[in-house]
């Protein structure tokens, strides 16, 4: 049976690396959205809890409820929150519509747009939203933004941080005026965190970095200390002894150049493995050629091994398909078994 192995020592190494940079373990929050970037939410949550993580961010209430017993604060980034949800699950506010539907005493985090122009309220509406939060007897737990320029060496990154500093000043002023506690502030994701020498926020939100990847387009030496924690393994279904010229798979796209033993393995594009065709060249981590075209539930490989490692670093497949490791990892089916080692 195909399986994803999660290396707990490498996960700890990555968290240690990040903490050594930010110099305060209490500032480290993890982003576990989209099934912990494909690694398995219910597998990663206990590891994060054991490390001492207190705050996490997930996609929606469905994910939050799965790990509600592990963390002090779980913020959902999208969707609505049920009135009877556990008190440690909080909702992100991107619009007045979301705010209007909330019950009193719920904790919320207010997202502000600082230049990515995707989600978040306009900075000019801060007063309106914070006053509305107070009038509805809600708890303003956090105010945050997403600096979308952490991966690129452009002035836009610094400009977004300057805008967030001004937002923090205004929020503190409004909180004093309304006699409400200051919220926690956060703006940086993985690359933004690791490129910043002096972090003034209360939290950093680290996602893909915790799993061993960065997608920065400039030199960032600390990235070399991060280790991919997941490896994808497949079991042999059967093998065929074939002669030179034999055609393999749909449409006979692969034609053997010499006699070989071909085995099929139990994972395919239906499991989220990208569909390799005749335009791509890919080998397993051990170096066994994977033959196009990958099928829905299996692939063929020049190998006699009972088990092969399809990849132990998603960056290689991402490069072949001109994408990023995020897409490779989050595409992996939640039905694939995930095991901690």
Q: Is the pLDDT of residue 107 over 90?
A: yes
Answer yes or no: are the C-beta atoms of 121 and 113 closer than 8 Å: yes
Burial of 135 (0-12, 13-18, 19+ CB in 10 A): exposed
Domains, the chain, with CATH or none: 3-225 (3.20.20.10), 232-340 (2.40.37.10)
- Which SS3 state, helix, strand or coil, does residue 254 take? strand
Task: Convert the pLDDT of each residue in 190-235 to its tens digit.
Answer: 999 999 999 999 999 999 999 999 999 999 999 999 999 999 999 9
pLDDT band for position 103 (cuts 50, 70, 90) = confident
Q: Average pLDDT of 4-13?
A: 98
Q: What is the DSSP letter of 149?
A: T
Q: Which DSSP string corresponds to 81-131?
A: --TTS-TTEEEEE-SHHHHHTPPTT-EEEEEB-SSS-SSSB-GGGHHHHHH
Q: What is the DSSP letter of 203?
A: B
pLDDT band for position 154 (cuts 50, 70, 90) = confident
Q: Which two tokens stand for residue 219?
A: 């030199």
Q: Is the pLDDT of residue 175 over 90?
A: yes
More reliable by pLDDT, 41 or 277: 41
Measured distance CA(187)–CA(9) in Å, rounded: 28
Can you state the angle between helices 41-51 and 8-22, rounded to 10 degrees? 50
CA-wise closest residue to 211 among 1, 3, 4:
4
Measured distance CA(94)–CA(230) in Å, rounded: 33
pLDDT band for position 333 (cuts 50, 70, 90) = very high
Q: Is the pLDDT of residue 336 over 90?
A: yes
Q: Is the pLDDT of residue 176 over 90?
A: yes
In the chain, % of residues over pLDDT 90: 95
Active site residues: 33, 250
Q: Which two tokens stand for residue 304?
A: 């006699």
pLDDT band for position 38 (cuts 50, 70, 90) = very high
Q: Which two tokens stand for residue 62?
A: 């469905």
pLDDT, position 186 = 98
Q: Average pLDDT of 140-157?
A: 95
Q: Average pLDDT of 50-73?
A: 98
Q: Average pLDDT of 80-90?
A: 95
pLDDT, position 279 = 86
pLDDT, position 301 = 97
State if pTM tops 0.75. Answer: yes
């Amino acid at each position: 049976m195909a399986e994803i192995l999660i290396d707990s020592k490498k996960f700890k190494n990555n968290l240690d690396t990040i903490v050594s940079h930010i110099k305060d373990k209490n500032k480290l929050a993890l982003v576990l959205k989209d099934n912990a970037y494909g690694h398995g939410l219910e597998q990663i949550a206990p590891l994060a809890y054991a490390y001492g993580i207190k705050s996490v961010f997930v996609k929606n209430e469905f994910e939050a409820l799965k790990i509600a017993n592990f963390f002090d604060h779980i913020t959902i980034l999208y969707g609505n929150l049920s009135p009877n949800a556990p008190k440690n699950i909080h909702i992100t506010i991107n619009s007045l519509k979301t705010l209007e539907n909330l019950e009193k005493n719920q904790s919320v985090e207010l997202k502000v747009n600082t230049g990515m122009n995707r989600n978040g309220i306009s900075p000019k509406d801060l007063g309106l939203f914070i006053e509305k939060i107070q009038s509805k007897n809600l708890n303003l737990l956090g105010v945050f933004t997403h600096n979308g320029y952490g991966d690129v060496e452009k002035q836009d990154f610094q400009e977004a941080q300057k805008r967030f500093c001004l937002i923090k000043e205004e929020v503190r002023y409004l909180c004093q005026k309304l006699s409400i506690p200051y919220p926690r502030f956060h703006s940086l994701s993985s690359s933004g965190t690791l490129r910043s020498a002096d972090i003034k926020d209360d939290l950093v939100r680290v996602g893909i970095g915790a799993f061993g990847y960065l997608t920065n387009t400039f030199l960032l030496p600390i990235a070399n200390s991060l280790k991919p924690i997941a490896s994808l393994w497949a079991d042999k279904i059967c093998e065929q002894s074939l002669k030179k010229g034999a055609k393999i798979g749909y449409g006979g796209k692969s034609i053997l150049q010499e006699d070989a033993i071909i085995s099929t393995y139990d994972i395919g594009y239906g499991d989220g493995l990208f569909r390799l065709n005749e335009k791509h060249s890919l080998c397993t981590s051990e170096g066994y050629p994977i033959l196009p075209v990958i099928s829905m539930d299996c692939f063929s490989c020049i190998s006699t091994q009972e088990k092969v490692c399809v990849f132990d670093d998603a960056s290689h497949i991402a490069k072949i398909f001109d994408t990023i490791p995020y897409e490779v990892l989050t595409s992996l089916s939640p039905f694939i078994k995930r095991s901690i080692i």
